[in-house]
Amino acid sequence: MIVAAEDFDRQTLSHALAGLESRCFGSDAWTCTTILEELAAPARTYIVDVDDAVPAGTSEAEASDRPEKIRGYAGFWFDGDDAELMTIAVDPRSRRQGLAGSMLRQLIDRARVLGARRMLLEVRVDNVPALALYHGFGFTRFGLRRRYYQPEGVDAYVMALGLAPRTAGFSPSQGDSTPEVPRRMSSDPPRGGGRDEGNDGSGIEG
C-alpha cells in the first residue's frame, strides 16, 4: 500500500530510505542526511510503498511505521506552477510488480490536487524501461540536456505531462518549449533533481 511520507517518523524513515537508496543507486545514493533534508524541505510531496503483507489486526498507521516493509518511494517538488519529479525508486527485491507505476499515478493525482499545471522530469536517453513507463502515462519529450548525468556524461530527455485543462485556443509560446526545470542537487554526490532508478533502466516497471 502507498502512504504519505509524513505518516512516518522522519528520522526512522530517512534511515530506512538510505538503505533503499543504497540498494537502488549504489555509489550515487542519497545519504541519510540528504534524505532527511529533502523530506523536511518546503513544497515537497513524498510517498512510500509499504508491503501490505503485515500481521492481521495491524492498523494502517502501524504498518506504515515498519521500515523493513518499505518497498519503494517517490516524490516531487511543487513550485506553485509545475511539479518536478525528484525521484522514484523500487527495492530490487520488489521489482516487476507495478510499484513504480502505482507510485507515479498517485504522484500525478496529488500534483493535480495541488493545482500543478504539469509534471516535469528528466530521464536518461538510454533508460528504455523508464521511457516506456513515462510514455505510457502520457509524458512527452520536448527537451534535451546534454551530458546531464555525470560522471558518465549521458544525455537526459526533459519530459512533461500536462495536468491542467488547456484553455480553448491556447497554444504554448515558442519560449515555453524548453523550460528551466528545477534541479535540486544533493551535495553527495551532485546530480540532477529528477532521477529514475537504475542507470540501465532496471527496476523501472509499469
Q: With CA atoms as reference, report the closest residue to 85 among 3, 201, 197.
A: 197
Which residue in the list 46, 73, 134, 149 is annotated as catalytic? 134
Peptide bond into 179 cis (omega under 30): no
Going 200 to 202 to 203 to 204, the CA torsion angle's sign is positive
Residue 12 amino acid letter: T
Show contacts of 53-61: CB within 8 Å, 24+ apart: 60/1, 60/3, 61/7
Strands 140-149 and 2-4 come out as unpaired
Question: Does residue 122 have an active-site annotation?
Answer: yes
CB 13 within 8 A of CB 48: yes
Which residue in the list 21, 38, 84, 122 is annotated as catalytic? 122
Question: At a CB cut-off of 8 Å and minimum separation 6, what does 140 contact?
Answer: 159, 160, 161
To 5 degrees, how large is the angle CA 83–CA 138–CA 30? Answer: 45
Alpha-carbon distance 37 to 182, whole Å?
Answer: 17
Alpha-carbon distance 99 to 179, whole Å?
Answer: 29
**Hey, which residues are catalytic here?**
122, 134
